[in-house]
Structure 1
Amino acid sequence: MAVPTSEEMVSDQLKDFNVEVKDTSQCSATKEDEKSILSFFSFLRSEKNEEIPPRVYDFESVSKLLNEHKLNPSPVHTIYDNNDTLTFKTSIDTALQNYGTRLMQRYRPRYGAIVAIDPVTGRVLALVSYTNEGEKDLGDHLYLSSIFPAASVFKAVTAAAAIENGGLTPLSRIVHTGRNHSLYRSQLAPQLSNFTEFTLRRAFALSVNPAFGRLALFKMDEGALNEYGNRFGYNQTVPFELSAEASEMFPTDCDFTIAQLASGYNRETSLSPLLGALMASAISENGRMPYPTIVDSVVNVSSDSTVYHRESKTWLNPVDSVTAFYLRDLMESVPASGTARRSFRVIRQSPRFNVFQYGGKTGNMRKRGIGRTDWFVGFTRHPYNTDQRLAVAVVTTHTPYWTVQSSFIASELKRIFMRNAQERQRESELERELIATGPR
């Protein structure tokens, strides 16, 4: 399609005002003048009371504006784009956002980040980034950063591959020898003379490194581990309005490095809190990983019209529904009797939360420059009410003297979320009851 020249453009615009120009060369314009010409005729149209339709925004243009203005998470933002005044309404849950921020400020790790997502829709409910005073500035958006080693959180990927590719279930028996949290070549020998048997569920709950190394070597096809890592979003950019770093897998070239990747016993496999929350979302929602979004809608204040509205879409389908069910079983064992059991004591002992399913995966690994990294990635879900579900990723880093465990921060966020969800449900039921009975 031919692009109109400046003369043709001027002539065409003048026809709208019943002005005939026989010699268009008399109104020639340079390329630099084209914007001025269009602005001039927009002014003439406004003088004639002709309504100019507002610009419609798409995901890419909204993302560009958010990154240009470097906005921090809050429920509403106002941005000026050329002549438009735009109100961005976000999905941030003020209660979760503020509580997550207070927890970080109370316990003061070296660095910390929180991402909370509605796993059904992909709406981002909280984004918290924390840097302790005196620490090197690593950026304002640590929740989008992949500087953190994934550690044992990667065992969720290994478990998915073992279930789908290797045919295992949570009750499948696996053997291991030596300490749970070490990884030596002797622990990976094809035949062990002295060994302990664990179910997959128990090995996951206690985060037994050698057991997961052996899964990758003896219970799944070659290349399956990398395939499932890619399925869960590794080595690719998360499609989010804010620019997020890609999480990368540890490269493997021999049996021992495969075992390192499978167990999370390496510093090279990275994970961003955003991807961690999305992994938990997929496990919560039967294998469906949503597109994460933070902008619900954009309103043009001048025209009082909605120029953008989010859509709920699926980004990836890393596992099928049966595998997701088994993974939830594994993750539920972690706060029940595994590495996060102390952090979740209050929730376990409170009858009001019995209806909820909740689980996750812990992980920790030292990394030079940021300290001991501590993870919790998990979900909370009402089995029948999809409005009462949450996926969360919490990461903190520490000096040798820890101030808090990420699993505790996650348990507190889940407790507040479940309590607020129950209160909203009661208020809704009361309102329906009042409507049904009518005034007395």
Structure 2
Amino acid sequence: MNRPIRTVSIFCMFLFLALMVNVTYLQFWHAEELNTDPANARVAEAAFSRERGVIIAGEGRDQATLARSTEIDDQYKYLRVYPQPLKYANVTGYLTLGTQTGIERSQNTVLSGEDPRLFVTRLIDLAQNQSNKGGNVLLTLDPQVQEAAYDALLSTVGPDGEGSVVAIEPKTGRVLAMVSLPSYDPNDLATHDFAASREAYNRLDSDEQEPLVNRAIQTRLFPGSTFKVVTASAAIENGLYTADDDVPAGATWQTPGTTGSSNVIDNEGRFLCNPEQVSFATAMAQSCNTAFAKMAVELGPEAMREQAEAFGFNSEYLLDLSPQVESVYPTGVEGPDGETVELNDAQTAQTGFGQFEVQATPLQMAMVVSALANRGTLMRPYLVEEVQDADYSTLEQTEPDELRDAVSPSTADQVTDLMLETVNNGTAFPAQIPGVSVAGKTGTAQRGVEGQPPYGWFVSFAPAEDAEVAVAVMIQEAPGKEIAGGQLGGPIAKAVMEAVLDD
């Protein structure tokens, strides 16, 4: 072989080797990254053209289909359909070409059939020359409880209102209801008319009421007086008081180190709070701001923060739905030189009744009362009950996960007694259910903006002695109505608890 031919042959050999290395890299080492790249239109279109699994909730005759795929005569073959869109949209999310949200996103590999647990199913489909079917996802939501929560919240805040309801089974952490208003119709986004889908998304995304936001886990507000159950827990857990003690109160209290009327804490006309000493039961039942402000200062910010974090503040805990925001008990404030310093007494006093920079999601406040209902043990909340194959056979079932003991059983029992008094003889009376012991607490939180109405909150659980359900209600906007946690939130919580107890 002459020299030029040999040179060309060697060059071609190197080109061939380079091609083999590149193909090996793309199809082996880099394959997973390419398959999961959202910019990979081929993979996105292939998944979009597959029969996706169903999202279901409930059991037996009460089972509801929340999302399914139906055959359609176009290039994508299947259209995603949401039979009960408004009630479940903020949980299920939606599916469009290359985009998923909610459960559609968190459980995408199962629903699309790509999950390793569906490997055998994929082999069978391949052997039978059938298209790959996705697996199914069974949620913990109870359709009757979800409906009760949705209907009660909607009838209270109206079509232009904003709010959320969360119900949890205290012993397990199963989320029985998760409602967010305003809602939206995911069918408008799942359409194969992509121009119409984009138009629907832009309309929803620019809406000032933010219907695409799941307020149960993505909106955090001042929890107001519902946070007093955290303060009470901290006071009892740290040995400061027992539920049978008298506690300092008073008609008004000038917060330590401050001057001026803007720093005076009062009880908004609740005259039973006026004595300098009241029973702990009266302080909780009448929601005495001065009592809980003084209690927080006695405890100090570190003890208050530790108790809040034991209930889940300053952390994330829901694993099967995202994104979520952390509820906050402040870890400090900016000092005069820009450094972070601890809360002072005046700021700590405000946190005692859920103001200053304390912020909570409805799920977080449901977790607080759920832990108290479970005699102090906080369970991780979860929404996915089972992962199933296409034939509804169980592949994996979620096991309850104990996060921690938020308080001791004794503390939980004492706070429960205080909350029982609040329902039986205090501000939470709208949640009373004949023949059932209900523990509850109201909250009406100031926004901190002059002339703006407050936020309404209500938390409760029942039966108090062996709770089956814990509920948190948050009312952000209720046009045309005076917002008060007990007046508006109590009946909603009652309807949800009754739906569980009557099931």
Query: TM-score, structure 2 length as denominator?
Result: 0.62
Give me the whole-angstrom Cα distance separating, in 2, the residues matched to 1:307 and 1:377. 35
Partner of 1:381: 463
Amino acid at match of 1:90: L
Matched-pair contact (CA < 8 Å) for 1:234–1:246: yes
Structure 1 residue 196: deviation in Å? 2.7
Matched residue count: 354
Amino acid at match of 1:217: V
Q: Identify which of 136, 159, 163 aligns with 1:87.
A: 136
Partner of 2:89: none
Give me the whole-angstrom Cα distance separating, in 2, the residues matched to 1:276 and 1:129. 15
* Deviation string, structure 1 residues 195-223 (Cα, Å, up to 9, x no partner): 532111111111111111211223x3662
Amino acid at match of 2:182: T
Partner of 1:12: none
Give the unaligned 5+ runs of structure 1. 1-23, 39-64, 189-193, 425-440
Partner of 1:116: 167
Q: Identify which of 339, 354, 367 aligns with 1:278.
A: 367
Q: Identify which of 135, 147, 151 aligns with 1:102.
A: 151
Is residue 376 of structure 2 the alignment partner of residue 294 of structure 1? no
* Deviation string, structure 1 residues 60-84 (Cα, Å, up to 9, x no partner): xxxxx989632479xx999224445
Q: Identify which of 291, 294, 316 aligns with 1:237.
A: 316
Amino acid at match of 1:298: V
Q: Identify which of 50, 66, 69 aligns with 2:100.
A: 69
Matched-pair contact (CA < 8 Å) for 1:229–1:249: yes
Give me the whole-angstrom Cα distance separating, in 1, the residues matched to 2:442 and 2:248. 21
Is residue 317 of structure 2 the alignment partner of residue 258 of structure 1? no
Higher relative contact order (CA 8 A, sep 6+): 1
Match runs of 1:21-60 below 5 Å: 29-34=23-28
Is residue 363 of structure 2 the alignment partner of residue 312 of structure 1? no
Amino acid at match of 1:171: D
Partner of 1:435: none
Structure 1 residue 402: deviation in Å? 2.0
Amino acid at match of 2:366: A
Give me the whole-angstrom Cα distance separating, in 1, the residues matched to 2:275 and 2:344. 23
Matched-pair contact (CA < 8 Å) for 1:213–1:260: yes
Matched-pair contact (CA < 8 Å) for 1:287–1:321: yes
Partner of 1:61: none
Give me the whole-angstrom Cα distance separating, in 2, the residues matched to 1:223 and 1:36. 49
Partner of 1:246: 326
Partner of 2:242: 169
Give me the whole-angstrom Cα distance separating, in 2, the residues matched to 1:398 and 1:391. 23
CA distance change for structure 1 residues 246 and 227 in 2, over 3 Å: closer, same or farther? same
Query: TM-score, structure 1 length as denominator?
Result: 0.70
Q: Identify which of 206, 210, 215 aligns with 1:142.
A: 215
CA RMSD of aligned residues (A): 3.6
Match runs of 1:182-197 below 5 Å: 195-197=275-277
2:221 aligns to what SS in structure 1?
Answer: coil
Give me the whole-angstrom Cα distance separating, in 2, the residues matched to 1:407 and 1:362. 7
Matched-pair contact (CA < 8 Å) for 1:145–1:273: no
Task: Report % sequence identity.
Answer: 24
Give me the whole-angstrom Cα distance separating, in 2, the residues matched to 1:27 and 1:265. 64
Partner of 1:56: none
Matched-pair contact (CA < 8 Å) for 2:373–2:412: yes
CA distance change for structure 1 residues 31 and 306 in 2, over 3 Å: closer, same or farther? farther
* Deviation string, structure 1 residues 84-141 (Cα, Å, up to 9, x no partner): 5111111111111112212232222631001111111111111111039975326430
Give the unaligned 5+ runs of structure 2. 1-16, 33-91, 115-131, 184-203, 266-273, 333-341
2:180 aligns to what SS in structure 1?
Answer: strand
Structure 1 residue 34: deviation in Å? 2.6
CA distance change for structure 1 residues 213 and 405 in 2, over 3 Å: closer, same or farther? closer
Amino acid at match of 1:283: L
